[in-house]
């Protein structure tokens, strides 16, 4: 009887092992990573215009922190890098309908977005800050001071800037724009009292327009940014996290960061 039980146990283990192997093989066959390697191409979605993450240079090339990271990712796979410039309000649908393989475009990781896509580990942390009219300097010291219907707040449609403005400054008059540049110009031209947007982008606009805007340069939200992929792809997620750990560990990430965040020589390429 004991021998028979051992036989049944062995059979069950063999079947379970074969099913696990079949399941793993099937997952790999369906993985976007496998498709990228077979197609010899990594298609990357982003929206140009988010300085210094992704921008369009005067010569038509796409440049920026995210662009360099994406190119390095493609190189690590041994495939071609193909940029896919996409309007922000359609960027997740573009990923889900296979217009691209990955979204590397300054997207904040949120639980709502995580219902639609999966994220690799955060690759940078940013937060919202305020560009304000120069005459408000010393009067407006935080987002709380703007929570009044008399103030007009600009924000970019579909971003965490919009979410933060509506959540944290609900009594203000909120106006939404297709791009952060439009919102910043509304403040610079005196048509809005403040812009709620990501600190790096606001800092760059302020550096170029110090006579027209003021910058409250302390982030008032915590926003980790992550690379988004389609759901159900553990192999791709694992690869991305390994890649991120490697470039952060060997100094490559820091060199790219310094190029775009601690140096403004790239500005002449887009002006």
Domains in the chain: boundaries: 31-125+224-269, 128-221
Predicted TM-score (pTM) of the model is 0.76
CATH topology match: 31-125+224-269 vs 128-221: yes
For 236, other C-beta atoms within 10 Å of its C-beta total 22
Asked if 66 and 226 count as a contact pair (C-beta separation under 8 A), the reply is no
Q: Is 31-125+224-269 assigned to CATH 3.40.190.10?
A: yes
- Given this model, what pLDDT does residue 54 score? 96
CATH architecture of 128-221: 3-Layer(aba) Sandwich (3.40)
**Are the C-beta atoms of 70 and 191 separated by less than 8 Å?**
no
222-255 pLDDT per residue, tens? 999 999 999 999 999 999 999 999 999 999 999 9
Q: Burial letters for 240-266: b for 16+ Cβ neighbours within 10 Å, e otherwise? A: beebbeebeeeeebeebeeebeeeeeb
Q: Give the span between the Cα atoms of 199 and 136, in whole angstroms.
A: 18
- Asked if residues 84 and 100 have their Cβ atoms less than 8 Å apart, the reply is yes
Top-confidence residue, 104 or 204 = 104
For residue 27, give both structure tokens. 């997952």
- Which pLDDT tens digit goes with each residue over 54-92? 999 999 999 999 999 999 999 999 999 999 999 999 999
The torsion angle over the Cα atoms of residues 29, 35, 36 and 40, rounded to 10 degrees, is 120
Percent of the chain scoring above 70 in pLDDT: 91
For 182-219, write each residue's pLDDT tens digit. 999 999 999 999 999 999 899 889 988 999 999 998 99
Cis peptide before 52 (omega within 30 of 0): yes
Strands 173-177 and 194-198: unpaired
State the DSSP code for 144: G
């Amino acid at each position: 009887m004991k021998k028979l039980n051992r036989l049944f146990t062995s059979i069950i283990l063999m079947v379970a092992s074969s099913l696990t192997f079949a399941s793993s093989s099937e997952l790999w066959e369906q993985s976007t990573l496998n498709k990228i390697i077979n197609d010899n191409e990594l298609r990357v979605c982003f929206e140009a215009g988010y300085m210094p993450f992704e921008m369009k240079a005067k010569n038509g090339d796409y440049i920026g922190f995210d662009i360099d990271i994406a190119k390095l990712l493609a190189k690590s796979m041994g495939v071609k890098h193909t940029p896919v410039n996409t309007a922000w309000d359609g960027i997740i649908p573009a990923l889900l309908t296979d217009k691209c393989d990955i979204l590397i475009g300054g997207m904040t990781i949120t639980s709502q977005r995580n219902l639609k896509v999966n994220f690799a580990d955060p690759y940078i942390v940013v937060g919202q800050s305020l560009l304000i009219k120069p005459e408000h300097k010393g009067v407006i010291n935080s987002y709380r001071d703007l929570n009044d219907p008399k103030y007009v707040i600009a924000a970019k449609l579909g971003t965490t800037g919009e979410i933060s403005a509506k959540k944290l400054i609900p009594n203000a008059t909120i106006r939404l724009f297709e791009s952060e540049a439009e919102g910043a110009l509304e403040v610079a031209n005196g048509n809005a009292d403040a812009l709620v947007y990501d600190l790096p982008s606001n800092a760059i606009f302020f550096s170029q327009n110090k006579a027209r805007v003021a910058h409250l340069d302390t982030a008032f939200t915590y926003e980790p940014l992550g690379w988004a992929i389609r759901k159900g792809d553990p192999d791709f997620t694992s690869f991305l996290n390994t890649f991120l750990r490697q470039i952060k560990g060997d100094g490559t990430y820091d060199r790219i960061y310094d190029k775009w965040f601690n140096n403004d020589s790239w500005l002449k390429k887009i002006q």
